[in-house]
Amino acid sequence: MRRIAKKYLPDRRIVVHSRAEIPTHFASEEAEREWWATHELADELAPSEAEIDRMTEQHHALVRRLQKNGRQEYNRHPRAKRT
Protein backbone atom coordinates (compact mmCIF):
# COMPACT_ATOMS: atom_id res chain seq x y z
CA MET A 1 0.00 0.00 0.00
CA ARG A 2 1.17 3.45 -0.75
CA ARG A 3 1.89 5.99 1.97
CA ILE A 4 -0.02 9.25 2.00
CA ALA A 5 2.15 12.36 2.11
CA LYS A 6 1.70 14.35 5.32
CA LYS A 7 1.26 17.61 3.39
CA TYR A 8 -1.88 16.07 1.83
CA LEU A 9 -3.63 15.53 5.16
CA PRO A 10 -4.63 18.88 6.64
CA ASP A 11 -6.57 20.55 3.83
CA ARG A 12 -7.94 17.76 1.65
CA ARG A 13 -9.82 15.45 3.96
CA ILE A 14 -13.24 14.21 2.96
CA VAL A 15 -15.87 15.08 5.56
CA VAL A 16 -18.09 12.17 6.57
CA HIS A 17 -21.64 13.31 7.35
CA SER A 18 -23.22 9.92 8.04
CA ARG A 19 -22.08 6.79 9.84
CA ALA A 20 -23.27 4.88 6.75
CA GLU A 21 -20.35 6.44 4.84
CA ILE A 22 -17.83 4.74 7.14
CA PRO A 23 -16.79 1.27 5.94
CA THR A 24 -17.80 -1.49 8.34
CA HIS A 25 -14.78 -3.61 7.43
CA PHE A 26 -11.23 -2.83 6.36
CA ALA A 27 -8.85 -5.32 4.76
CA SER A 28 -6.16 -4.45 7.33
CA GLU A 29 -5.24 -1.94 10.01
CA GLU A 30 -3.09 -0.20 7.41
CA ALA A 31 -6.10 0.15 5.08
CA GLU A 32 -8.15 1.62 7.94
CA ARG A 33 -5.32 4.00 8.84
CA GLU A 34 -5.11 5.18 5.23
CA TRP A 35 -8.87 5.68 5.03
CA TRP A 36 -8.95 7.79 8.21
CA ALA A 37 -5.93 9.76 6.97
CA THR A 38 -8.13 11.11 4.16
CA HIS A 39 -11.48 11.36 6.00
CA GLU A 40 -12.79 13.14 9.07
CA LEU A 41 -16.06 13.23 10.96
CA ALA A 42 -18.42 16.14 10.47
CA ASP A 43 -19.10 18.15 13.61
CA GLU A 44 -22.60 16.66 13.89
CA LEU A 45 -21.09 13.16 14.24
CA ALA A 46 -18.51 14.05 16.87
CA PRO A 47 -19.66 13.33 20.42
CA SER A 48 -20.51 16.34 22.56
CA GLU A 49 -18.73 16.99 25.85
CA ALA A 50 -21.88 15.84 27.67
CA GLU A 51 -21.83 12.53 25.76
CA ILE A 52 -18.15 12.02 26.56
CA ASP A 53 -18.80 12.76 30.25
CA ARG A 54 -21.73 10.29 30.26
CA MET A 55 -19.58 7.60 28.62
CA THR A 56 -16.85 8.20 31.20
CA GLU A 57 -19.37 7.96 34.05
CA GLN A 58 -20.75 4.71 32.61
CA HIS A 59 -17.22 3.28 32.35
CA HIS A 60 -16.43 4.16 35.96
CA ALA A 61 -19.73 2.67 37.11
CA LEU A 62 -18.90 -0.58 35.31
CA VAL A 63 -15.43 -0.73 36.89
CA ARG A 64 -16.91 -0.12 40.36
CA ARG A 65 -19.51 -2.85 39.78
CA LEU A 66 -16.84 -5.34 38.68
CA GLN A 67 -14.67 -4.49 41.66
CA LYS A 68 -17.59 -4.90 44.04
CA ASN A 69 -18.20 -8.37 42.60
CA GLY A 70 -14.60 -9.38 43.18
CA ARG A 71 -13.47 -9.07 39.58
CA GLN A 72 -10.58 -6.63 39.96
CA GLU A 73 -8.65 -8.56 37.32
CA TYR A 74 -10.58 -6.66 34.63
CA ASN A 75 -8.98 -3.33 35.42
CA ARG A 76 -5.33 -4.27 35.84
CA HIS A 77 -2.70 -6.38 34.15
CA PRO A 78 -1.68 -9.65 35.78
CA ARG A 79 1.68 -9.53 37.46
CA ALA A 80 4.46 -11.64 36.04
CA LYS A 81 5.46 -14.53 38.27
CA ARG A 82 8.99 -14.36 39.62
CA THR A 83 11.08 -17.46 39.27
Query: 21-56 pLDDT, tens per residue?
Result: 999 999 999 999 999 999 998 888 877 888 888 888
Shortest CA distance to 36 belongs to which of 50, 20, 22, 48? 22
Structure confidence at residue 6 as a pLDDT band (50, 70, 90)? very low
Q: What angle do CA 44, 47, 50 make, to 5 degrees?
A: 120
pTM: 0.48
Eight-class DSSP state of 6? G
**Domain count within the chain:** 1
As a whole-number percent, the residues of the chain with pLDDT over 90 amount to: 30
| 81 within domain boundaries | no
| 33 within domain boundaries | yes
| 83 within domain boundaries | no
Identify the domain containing residue 22 by its residue range: 6-75
